[in-house]
């Protein structure tokens, strides 16, 4: 929705999970010589200032990246993620947080490309400012990323990671991501798709992971999938608020599950807000 701006939530526990996994997939794709694209359907502003009014209003980063900032003995994937955040904070004080576009760009080689969509006009303007020196390697479109994805698939190099993370402010978003993935798999069945989703008490949110699993079983394009979710607290008794989030990855790197087995227990401990914190890691191979 046009009212949603990620600046209010930058660096929260959901960003930690999403961005750690994004980096692991991008690293894996960069291990092969062939070029690849990263397509981000809901790019936001690209990077965020944590002491700005938007971020300070909810200060969600304090329960996310703030919990990891001074942590020691992190597993390699978490340490790698933290190193990227430190690149934006060279003086050692946590003042800036990288969005998925900024992180993705750091993983690209000269032959790789980044395609970004952002619907909110203010964030699209900030996104362009943040990438004003990026040149032709980065293409930014102000518009609906789910609709715009169709024209990009299949990408010319036939290798791509598609990150999909809408706000889920309306019930239509849940059906929209299913339809988008159905269409995308028809056009580009071998792509890697990383879908972020919230853990919320509402029915559409609770049903989404199972709908995604059925998509793989019912589709004529069978695929491997990996589902990783992290609950940081018990659901609110009044039914309000996100109590965790997940990433559903279609055609994941074969190394990712092992990496997350080593990483999610530590993230759960560090990000826990009460004794109900749990993680789920499950997969299916065609």
83 in catalytic set: no
Quote the tokens at residue 276.
């109900």
Catalytic residue among 15, 112, 165, 173: 165
| Distance separating alpha carbons of residues 166 and 192, to the nearest angstrom | 17
The residues assigned a catalytic role are: 165
């Amino acid at each position: 929705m046009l009212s949603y701006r990620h600046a209010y939530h930058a660096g929260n526990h959901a960003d930690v999970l999403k961005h750690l996994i994004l980096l692991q997939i991008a690293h894996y794709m960069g291990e092969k010589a062939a070029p690849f694209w990263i397509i981000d359907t809901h790019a936001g502003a690209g990077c965020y200032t944590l002491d700005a009014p938007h971020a300070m209003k909810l200060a969600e980063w304090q329960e996310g990246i703030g919990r990891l900032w001074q942590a020691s003995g992190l597993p390699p994937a978490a340490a790698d993620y933290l190193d990227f955040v430190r690149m934006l904070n060279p003086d050692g004080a946590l003042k800036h947080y990288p969005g998925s576009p900024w992180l993705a760009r750091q993983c690209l080689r000269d032959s790789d490309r980044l395609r970004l969509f952002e619907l909110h006009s203010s964030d699209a303007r900030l996104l362009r400012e943040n990438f004003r020196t990026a040149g032709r390697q980065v293409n930014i479109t102000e518009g609906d990323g789910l609709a715009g994805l169709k024209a990009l698939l299949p990408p010319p190099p036939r290798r791509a990671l598609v990150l999909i993370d809408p706000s889920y402010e309306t019930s239509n978003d849940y059906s929209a991501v299913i339809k988008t993935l159905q269409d995308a798999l028809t056009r580009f069945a071998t792509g890697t798709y990383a879908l972020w989703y919230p853990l919320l008490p509402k029915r559409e949110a609770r049903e989404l992971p199972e709908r995604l699993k059925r998509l793989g079983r019912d589709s004529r394009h069978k695929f491997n999938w990996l589902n990783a979710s992290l609950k940081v607290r018990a659901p609110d008794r009044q039914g309000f608020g996100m109590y965790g989030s997940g990433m559903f990855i279609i055609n994941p790197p074969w190394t990712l599950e092992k990496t997350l087995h080593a990483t999610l227990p530590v993230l759960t401990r560090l990000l826990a807000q009460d004794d109900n914190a749990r993680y789920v890691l499950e997969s299916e191979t065609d």
